[in-house]
Structure 1
Amino acid sequence: ELIEVGGVLAVAEDLGLERSRLVLLGPGEGVDAGAPARHLGRGVEVPAGPELIGRVIDPLGRPLDGRAPPATRRRVRVERAPIPLAEREPVTRPLRTGVFGVDTMIPIGMGQRQLVIGDRSTGKTELCLDILAALDRDTVGMYVAIGRRGSDVAAQVQWLREVGLLDHGLCVVTDADDPVGLIQLAPYAATAMAEALAEQGRDVVIVYDDLTSHAHAHRTLALLMGRPVGREAHPVDVFYAHARLLERATQLGRTRGGGSITAFPIIETQAGDLTGYIPTNLVSITDGQIRLDAALAASGLSPAVDVTLSVSRVGSKAQPAVVRQLAGRFKNRYAQFLELEAFARFGTRLEPTAQAVVEWGRRVRQALRQDRGVSRTWADTMARMLVVQAEGFERAPQPELGALVDRVCASLRREPVFARLGTGHATVEPEALDACRTAATRLLAELSGHDGSAGEGEPAAAPDEPGDRP
């Protein structure tokens, strides 16, 4: 319940006959002993509706962008009963992240909950912001900053404004200086706003940055209120706190509007340890995880996605048909490369066919590099898979390999046979894929300066052209 104490909003956490415990949602400097308290007769509510798009607000809907308060016509409860399973639908529609390694090997669907996990400074926030920037303009992107450093939040919001996300999205912001009650409320308030849009048929993608800070805020409140704590001094209900948040991400059925909420919670690990209390909780709650590795980040790979520990439990059900056809062989061969590379570290001499797989995989790893703000379309992803699987790719010259792949992909997309793949959402005949593979092998040989003979490999991939940015 919402209480006003000395002009400051507060949430009643514990109510008693003689004493109640309140969590302030504003500065407490003006709240003194004897300050009047008034029950407002309602729970915590936030503004909701399309009027929020383009705005930067706090969890209570108050503007942080220097503009007037959002002129919404509706308010919704932050806490509400979860949507029944009968009113939800399976996750089947693909979400294009624009990240080649994710769209091919860790496919994500609309309505999925995909954890982004890794150590500090491995690029977790940057990856999620790139995903938001790649969204189609009819998809609402939401960035939720939870107790982050103010300068970092300002930089992220400015970047999102520059790439155009605020034309079809919004930011819900708390920084480290905000009251702990407001920080703890932030993800729930943002999700309530997202639910209102989803029930109007909109697809919403929401990034929680990050739930480590949220868990710390939840722990602080629990300790202040004298609640029992458990592992790592977290309250015993921290699993429930995150489960009831993330279960609200779903694909709604038609009776509830038909929209969806796709959630990307971010969590920070220490020294790559995935067995911490909060990380293990969130891995068990979500539908998969994208794990970013500090060693890969230090080597210059960006995004530093560790595909061996990343998984999507929705899997290929949420991939366009042609991407799924191409990705099966690609994922299997890349997994074989990772096994052989680990084996070769012991100094074991590999037979020629195995060495060719290792050379191929090392070049694929280079091709997985993607600059900040670059977004791959589905057509680019299909072409890119064709190119990196093209016969002879394991002998492609490594200097400037990324530029070579881009040139081959651009040429492949202009080939008449590539048009037979269409948008990628409908299954095509094997003959069409074989024709594209042949074209990719020919173009790779022509543009790399070798004839491509005596090599083993498979189909390949595609680059960025001016029209590839969303």
Structure 2
Amino acid sequence: MGLKAEEISKLIKQQIEGFSSELIVDEVGTVSYVGDGIARAYGLENAMAGELLEFSNGIYGMAQNLETNDVGIIILGHFDGIVEGDTVKRTGRIMEVPVGEAMIGRVVNSLGQPVDGMGEINTTKTRPVENPAPGVMDRQSVFEPLQTGIKAIDALVPVGRGQRELVIGDRKTGKTSLCIDTIINQKGKDTICIYVAIGQKESTVRSQTEILKKHGAMDYTIVLTASASQPAPLLYIAPYAGLAMAEEFMYAGKHVLIIFDDLTKQAAAYRELSLLLRRPPGREAYPGDVFYLHSRMLERAAKLNDKLGGGSITALPIVETQAGDISAYIPTNVISITDGQIFLESDLFHSGVRPAIAAGLSVSRVGGAAQIKAMKKVSGTLRLDLASFRELEAFTQFGSDLDAATQAKLNRGHRTVEVLKQGLHEVISVEKQVLIFYALTHGLLDTVRANELGRFEREFYDYIDNQQQDIILEINETKGLPDSEKLDAVINEFKDNFFTSIVESDSAAYIPETT
């Protein structure tokens, strides 16, 4: 049955009313070259620096070089499906990554996409990967300690919330282990941790994640991985993506610890991209802006003032040296940006001193401001004692007859080295550190054989946990040192018990007190 004329006119009127003349305009370019993680495209006259561009196969790229004839694009993913002649369109968005509470406990890639097989991340918040650093007036001085749980760091080169402390050393000297231990020690300290793994094997990142899970640290940690098998653009962008995630928490008044492992590989990825984009090479073939690459990143770590919520980002960048050469290009760049460095020495590491921190070359430019009063008091002379011991040790290798004062200094030095040794993933609370350093600097350990100090320390901590909890609570609450008479009595009481327990099995384990 045919439609009546009135019905037809009614339908036409409805169509006319619902008609929209909105014009959708996309600025589209054409790929003229593709290879090795970069592409060139012409026809994108209005593209912005750092803008996200979408290729016809759904892969994204980022505008890096804005030239007169074309745009140099770094491809954020595998570029196998992109060929010359493909279209690429502007998105109008600057490169951004998802952020927020939902990211905690997950393993993600440089684009914030999950790679841990635990499903999608439910967050709608995003932040641009490039963001201006807080200005001078937005910051305040670093004054709160960030406890690492590592005796040699908390005593000699303390780290404060909002500080940037470089971890530097050769391959296989324990740089990553140091940072993983610092993450483990943040348990219950209201600090969110972000571990950015750049250019590492996927199996290595997996094993580090398992260690964090085992110690319950994934409850407050985000792992961001840009593995060695991924294209160079993802390695270059990874630290910035990690910082964007950190800034979300910092501006919400929270404290964040971010670890870049390591910036040497990021600089190498950036060099690769720059050379492919035909930027002029400079020293060691790095482009001239490689300093700016790291400085604009690390400047974003800060301690915000109270008006902005008092949040902080503490950055521990890692840089790898070749044969201990800290005067190479990238190490000197990053040393000049950061607020101090922890230098790990291979000779110390191989001689069994672990963590292998070289006290003479390591420094914290924040210093005592990042220590509680009690730690400041007991660790004041440690660095000098250690430095003079190293000199004396080298000097007395060839001599046999030593005067009593020199011998006493050497003995104290050997005990200092032993006390600063620490097992892997065995973090120690600052209160216990204060007690063992008090015993060391006040000569209460001079009667314990150096080779027995490891056992002495372990049993001492158990004794404190079981019988002297009030001392721990007092240091925790007042941040100061308890009464010296009380401390001396507690340590001497334990010493007597310790000697009594081992004297039958090994009479050489202690040195009798001399009058």
**How high is the TM-score relative to the length of structure 1?**
0.92
How far the C-alpha of 1:428 sits from its partner, in A, is 4.5
The answer (yes or no) to whether the contact 1:9–1:26 under 8 Å persists in 2 is yes
**Please, which of 277, 280, 299 is the counterpart of residue 247 of structure 1?**
299
1:112 maps to: 163
Amino acid at match of 2:55: V
Give distance in 2, aligned partners of 1:46 and 1:31: 23
1:256 maps to: 308
How far the C-alpha of 1:409 sits from its partner, in A, is 4.2
Amino acid at match of 1:38: K
Query: Are 1:284 and 2:284 matched, yes or no?
Result: no
Equivalent pairs counted in the alignment come to 453
2:172 maps to: 121
How far the C-alpha of 1:326 sits from its partner, in A, is 1.0
The gaps in structure 2 that reach 5 residues or longer are 1-50, 504-509
Give distance in 2, aligned partners of 1:415 and 1:11: 59
The answer (yes or no) to whether the contact 2:165–2:338 under 8 Å persists in 1 is yes
CA-to-partner distance for each residue in 1:31-53, whole Å, 9 max, x for gaps?
00111111000110111111111
How far the C-alpha of 1:357 sits from its partner, in A, is 1.4
Amino acid at match of 1:418: I
**Please, which of 237, 243, 248 is the counterpart of residue 185 of structure 1?**
237
Quick check: which has more Rg, 1 or 2?
Answer: 2
Question: Pairwise mapping of residues 8-27 of structure 1 onto structure 2 (< 5 A)?
Answer: 8-27=59-78
The answer (yes or no) to whether the contact 1:387–1:440 under 8 Å persists in 2 is yes
Query: Are 1:422 and 2:482 matched, yes or no?
Result: no
CA-to-partner distance for each residue in 1:223-263, whole Å, 9 max, x for gaps?
11111121111111101110000011110112323211000
1:237 maps to: 289
Query: Are 1:453 and 2:503 matched, yes or no?
Result: no
Give distance in 2, aligned partners of 1:416 and 1:71: 43
Query: Are 1:4 and 2:22 matched, yes or no?
Result: no
The answer (yes or no) to whether the contact 2:142–2:160 under 8 Å persists in 1 is yes
The answer (yes or no) to whether the contact 2:359–2:386 under 8 Å persists in 1 is no
Q: 1:40 is paired with a residue of what secondary structure?
A: strand
The answer (yes or no) to whether the contact 2:414–2:450 under 8 Å persists in 1 is no
Alignment root-mean-square deviation, CA:
2.0
Q: 1:173 is paired with a residue of what secondary structure?
A: strand
Question: Pairwise mapping of residues 369-388 of structure 1 onto structure 2 (< 5 A)?
Answer: 369-388=421-440
2:418 maps to: 366
Distance 1:342 1:421, change over 3 A: farther
2:386 maps to: 334
The answer (yes or no) to whether the contact 2:447–2:513 under 8 Å persists in 1 is no
How far the C-alpha of 1:92 sits from its partner, in A, is 0.4
Give distance in 2, aligned partners of 1:64 and 1:329: 48
Q: 1:89 is paired with a residue of what secondary structure?
A: coil
Distance 1:374 1:10, change over 3 A: same
Q: Which moved more, 1:413-422 or 1:132-141?
A: 413-422
Q: 2:92 is paired with a residue of what secondary structure?
A: coil
Distance 1:28 1:365, change over 3 A: same
Give distance in 1, aligned partners of 2:91 and 2:286: 31
2:279 maps to: 227
How far the C-alpha of 1:12 sits from its partner, in A, is 0.6
The answer (yes or no) to whether the contact 1:320–1:425 under 8 Å persists in 2 is no
How far the C-alpha of 1:212 sits from its partner, in A, is 0.6
Distance 1:299 1:322, change over 3 A: same
Q: Which moved more, 1:62-71 or 1:395-404?
A: 395-404
Question: Pairwise mapping of residues 55-454 of structure 1 onto structure 2 (< 5 A)?
Answer: 55-137=106-188, 138-347=190-399, 349-391=401-443, 393-411=445-463, 414-415=467-468, 418=471, 421-423=474-476, 425-428=478-481, 432-448=483-499, 453-454=513-514
Q: 1:251 is paired with a residue of what secondary structure?
A: coil
Distance 1:415 1:336, change over 3 A: farther
Amino acid at match of 2:424: R
Q: 2:256 is paired with a residue of what secondary structure?
A: strand
**How high is the TM-score relative to the length of structure 2?**
0.84
Q: Which moved more, 1:337-346 or 1:251-260?
A: 337-346
The answer (yes or no) to whether the contact 1:387–1:405 under 8 Å persists in 2 is no
The answer (yes or no) to whether the contact 1:61–1:70 under 8 Å persists in 2 is no
How far the C-alpha of 1:351 sits from its partner, in A, is 1.6
CA-to-partner distance for each residue in 1:267-318, whole Å, 9 max, x for gaps?
1001111110000111111001111110111112221111111111100111
Give distance in 2, aligned partners of 1:281 and 1:47: 30
Q: 2:89 is paired with a residue of what secondary structure?
A: strand
Q: 2:244 is paired with a residue of what secondary structure?
A: helix
How far the C-alpha of 1:363 sits from its partner, in A, is 2.2
**Please, which of 73, 95, 105 is the counterpart of residue 54 of structure 1?**
105
